[in-house]
Amino acid sequence: MEQKNEKDEDYGYQLFPDRHNGTSKRSALGTSLFTFKHKCQVMLRIALDTSPYAKLLLGAMKHSGCAAYLDRHFSCEDCDGIVSGGFDATTSQIVLCQNNIHQQAHMNRVVTHELIHAFDHCRAHVDWFNNFKHLACSEIRAANLSGDCSFGNEISRFKFGIKQHHQECVRERALRSILAVRKVSREDAEKAVDSVFNSCFNDHEPFGRIPHNNADAGHAYREFKNRDRYYSNI
């Protein structure tokens, strides 16, 4: 049991106590209308139905053979600390932290971020647990493409920068994510991020561009829906 706990702490599972303790509950009965869980589930559904980021990612995953179902691949749970969500590769589930997500815009962004991890898991042999470069790459992509580092979000964190600040933000947030879920020194995490940054920052799949707002995501979604025509005529 101790060995299992140590292993789980090495991979960040202590941040998600419901899965860490093996007590993930999926109630067959409806939950109270006034709980965090219900609010999380409502916001999740709205995000999946209306966010162009989420719709594009869901479409791309379905195209890759990983259709994502609400009941199977998403879970609203209580989490520790300030973490907002996670992707559990062992169960192929996206975890949303119902106690830390209280606004729809935040839910949209977290869902997008975790769907990018799920998309990477679906299309590539990502070694989440043993290869820091793989983890770093997915975190770079998620920070880059989810809107985490938008100008508005950075201003709200009191991080004021303009010229190429987006890249600084992506680098920093990827580092933070790695340090949150892995027992590794900052120096080693920085090395991993630096070694893959160029390649992963410029990997914009499935968006084809860095979407800075819903309009950009809408353009990307339109391009995605047009892909059959596109690739058969170039």
Partner 1 sequence: MAFPTSVWRPPRACDDYWREYKHCQSFQHLFHSYYTFGSAPSCQQWKLDYYSCQEWEKHHSAQAKDALQASERKRVEEKQQYKPVWELRKKPPHDWYLPLQEERENKR
- Residue numbers at the binding site for partner 1 (CB under 8 A): 24, 26, 64-66, 72, 91-93, 120-127, 133-134, 137, 151, 162-167, 196, 198-200, 202-204, 208, 210, 212-213, 215-216, 219, 222-223, 226, 229-234
Beta carbon of residue 91, minimum distance to partner 1 (angstroms, whole number): 6
Q: Which residues are catalytic?
A: 114
CB atoms within 10 A of CB 85: 25
Looking at beta carbons only, is 8 or 46 nearer to partner 1? 8
Q: Whose Cβ is closer to partner 1: residue 46's or residue 214's?
A: 214
Nearer to partner 1, 50 or 199 (CB): 199
Residue closer to partner 1, measured from CB, 33 or 229 = 229
CA–CA distance, 87 with 95 (Å, rounded to integer): 6
Residue 234, burial from CB neighbour count under 10 angstroms (0-12, 13-18, 19+): exposed
User: Least CB distance from residue 67 to partner 1, whole Å?
Assistant: 8
* Distance (Å, whole) CA 25 – CA 117: 23
Give, as one character, the DSSP assignment of residue 15. Answer: G
Query: Token pair of 172, please?
Result: 């920093």
Are the beta carbons of 170 and 193 closer than 8 angstroms?
no
DSSP string of 29-89? SPPPTTSHHHHHHHHHHHHHHH-HHHHHHHHHHHHTT----HHHHEEEE--STT--EEEET
The enclosing H or E element of 213 equals none
Minimum CB separation of residue 34 from partner 1 in Å reads 26
Residue with smaller CB distance to partner 1, 129 or 230: 230
Q: Residue 230 has which token pair?
A: 């596109």
CB of 155 to partner 1, least distance (A): 11
CB of 20 to partner 1, least distance (A): 14
